[in-house]
Amino acid sequence: MTEETTERVHSALDDFRIELPSWGFADTGTRFGKFLQDGAAIDLADKLSDAGEVHRVTGSCPKVATHVLWDFEEGKDFSKNPHIYFIEQRLEGKNSNKYGETLKITNWEYVKWVHLWCCSIGCRISDVPYFKVNDFTFDRKTQIISWIQQKTDKVNNVPLNDVSGFIFQKFSSGKSLSQNLFPSLSTQKFNKHLKLLLKDLRFNRLVSKPKKVGSKIIDTEEKPLWSLISSHSGRRSFTKNLIDLGTMDYQTIMKLSSHKTFSQFSKYISVITEDVMKSRKLYSMDSDTSESYQNQLISEFNKLSEDNKKIILGLTRSLNK
């Protein structure tokens, strides 16, 4: 081909767009049987989310073809849900055309990803509108996320994990460094739609949050979980999950969650039934301690530096010869 023809082909490929079939993301089959796959989409929201990820990676699949019988079952047609709408954010990066030039997600998708973001880095919902792409410092060696907290005006540093890394990549792709990482949505609307989303997902477990006001105890009535949850549950989940890891002391966790005093931090320590039941192991007379020894070895090994891990691994191998 001539150079001119090659450029025309490349230009045509740049403009080439594919309409993805929604049913391709779900479990499919033939008259001979159904072929199940891990992580398959279970509803239209999942399919649209998966299709959005394909378009984020390829930049060539901005549309989705839906199936009337499979995607719009009675009670599952999200187009009839008055609480769901689209949020758009223009992409201003140099390669924005690769990602469709506009980030377009539903408000419920936004709530899902932002809530997971708060759970994974421990930020407050008040920080979210101010995150910019270039606010984050990614050190390739330590992989630390750094940002300025709006409430305290202090810099906080949290190690990157699989969830926060994925979300950052998802929302920063195609954007300029000075752009906001997330589209705009007020805290009031976020909390409203978080409740509506969890109600739709049937977070109906009954819980109560009694508190004492003066000499009276109020709010003793049990209510469904979805009606009590708020955006702050993301930050609380971050702290509680760090505690449950069992690999860090409270002082280290306080540094990650940016709590200055233990009295503030203690409000985030929730004790559940599983925590209480751990007391059964006190003075345990179980003679089979092999699993306990193994867990202790793994725990102590993980605390070592990389160099010391290599030394211990070498000693272990020499003893097994």
Report pLDDT for 15.
77
Count CB atoms within 10 A of the CB of residue 217: 10
Buried b (16+ CB within 10 A) or exposed e, 250-277: eeebbebbbbeeeeebeebeeeeeeeee
| Dist. CA 61–CA 19, nearest whole Å | 6
Report pLDDT for 159.
86
Report pLDDT for 137.
66
Q: Does residue 247 sit in helix, strand or coil?
A: coil
Report pLDDT for 14.
78
Report pLDDT for 176.
92
**pLDDT average per 10 residues of sequence, the chain (321 residues):** 82 82 76 66 79 82 72 58 85 86 88 94 92 75 81 87 88 91 92 90 86 84 90 91 87 88 82 73 60 76 82 76 60
Per DSSP, helices labelled H in 72-182 are 107-121, 162-172
Report pLDDT for 235.
92
CB 85 within 8 A of CB 193: no
Neighbouring-strand partners of residue 145: 158
Question: Rg of the chain's alpha carbons, rounded to an integer?
Answer: 25
Domain covering 81-274 in this structure, CATH number: 1.10.443.10
| Dist. CA 49–CA 109, nearest whole Å | 8
CB 102 within 8 A of CB 91: yes
Report pLDDT for 181.
92
Report pLDDT for 138.
60
| Dist. CA 105–CA 111, nearest whole Å | 10
Q: Does residue 221 sit in helix, strand or coil?
A: coil
